[in-house]
Homo-oligomer: A and B are copies of this chain.
Amino acid sequence: MRVAYNEQMTELADSLGEMAGLAGAAMERATQSLLQADLTLAEQVIGEHDKITELSALCEERAFALLALQAPVAGDLRSVVSGIQIVADIDRMGALALHVAKIARRRHPNHVLPEEVNGYFAEMGRIAVSIGAAAKEVLETRDPERAARLREEDEAMDDLHRHLFNVQMDREWKHGVAAAVDITLLGRFYERFADHAVEVGRRVIFLVTGQLPAEDGSVTAKRADDLTTYPE
C-alpha cells in the first residue's frame, strides 16, 4: 500500500514535469514556426497538442485518485493540491503555444511579423522557452529559491512586452492593422505563458514550504499592471 502510494505520488510529479517539458517544446517550435513561417513546425505543434491535454486529464485523475484512496496529509497533501493547480497552468502554457502556432499557420506562406518586430519575438520566445524549462526544473527539483527566480525572467518578458507596445504605438508604424492585431495577440500569448510559469513556481514554493508567496493577492494586480502600463 505504501509502495503503491509512493509510486502514485511519483507518477503525478513525473507527469507534471513531462507536461511542462511538452509545453516548453511546443512554445519553442511555435516560435520557430512564427519566425521562419515554417508550416511543418506549426502543424507539428498543432498535431501534438492533444498529448498535453491528455496528460492534463491524466494528472487530474491521478491527483483525485490520490486524494480519494490515500488521503495524503501534510507535505504530500500540499503536493497533490498544488499539482491540481499546477496542471491547469501548464495546460494553459500548452494552449498558448498552440495559439502561436495557429497564427503562424494562418498567415503561411506569409510571415506574420514585420521585420521590425522579429527581434522582439525571437527574444520573447527565448525567454518563454527558458522559463518553461525552469518551471520543469523546479517541478523536478522542488528548489524554492530557483522557483522564486522565475519571477525575474517574467519581468524581462514584461519589459519586452511593453517595448513591443511602444513599437506599435509609434506614429511610424507602417504595417497596418492586421499585423498589429496579430502582434498584440502574440505578445499577450508570450506574456501569459511566462505568467503561468511563474505561477507554477509559486505553487512549488507552497508545496515545499507550506507558505504561498505574498503575490497570491498581488499577482493578479501585478499582472494587470504589467499588461496595462505599456507606454501610451
Task: Say whether A25 faces chain B, with CB atoms less than 8 Å apart.
Answer: no
Segment from A13-21, A124-132, A150-158, A218-226 that makes contact with B: A218-226
Does more than half of chain A's interface fall in helix, strand or loop, or is it mixed? helix
Are the CB atoms of A53 and B184 closer together than 8 Å? no
A227 to B212, CA, bound (A): 33
When the two chains form their complex, are residues A64 and B85 in contact, meaning their CB atoms are under 8 A apart? Answer: no
A7 interface residue (CB < 8 Å to B):
no
Q: What are 14 residue pairs bridging A and B, where the CB atoms are less than 8 Å apart in the complex?
A: A52-B220, A53-B219, A53-B220, A56-B217, A67-B77, A94-B220, A98-B221, A99-B227, A99-B228, A168-B177, A169-B181, A176-B177, A177-B180, A181-B181
Q: For residue A165, which residue of chain B has the nearest CB?
A: B181
Query: Closest residue to A227 on the B side, CB-wise?
Result: B99
CB closest chain-B residue, reference A46 = B224
Give the nearest-CB partner of A96 in chain B.
B224
Name the interface size band of chain A: 35 or more
Q: Are A224 and B177 neighbours in the complex by a CB distance under 8 Å?
A: no
Q: Mask for A59-72, Cβ within 8 A of B = 1, else 0?
A: 01001100110010
Distance in angstroms from A195 CB to nearest chain B CB is: 10
Chain B residues with Cβ under 8 A from A181's Cβ?
165, 168-169, 180-181, 184
Q: Bits for A29-46, please: 1 = Cβ < 8 Å to B, else 0.
A: 000000000000000000
Determine whether A54 belongs to the interface, using a CB cutoff of 8 Å to chain B.
yes
14 more contacts with CB within 8 A, not counting A88-B88, A95-B224, are: A49-B220, A53-B219, A53-B220, A56-B217, A57-B217, A85-B85, A85-B88, A98-B221, A98-B224, A103-B228, A168-B181, A169-B178, A180-B180, A184-B184
Cα separation A99 to B192 with both chains bound (whole Å):
13
With a cutoff of 8 Å between Cβ atoms, the chain B residues found around residue A218 in the complex are 53
A216 touches B53 (CB 8 A): yes
Among residues of B, the one whose C-beta sits closest to the C-beta of A215 is B53
A28 within 8 A of B: no
User: Nearest-CB distance from A211 to chain B (Å)?
Assistant: 12
What is the 8 Å Cβ interface bit string for chain A, positions 101-116, against chain B (1 contact, 0 not)?
0110010000000000
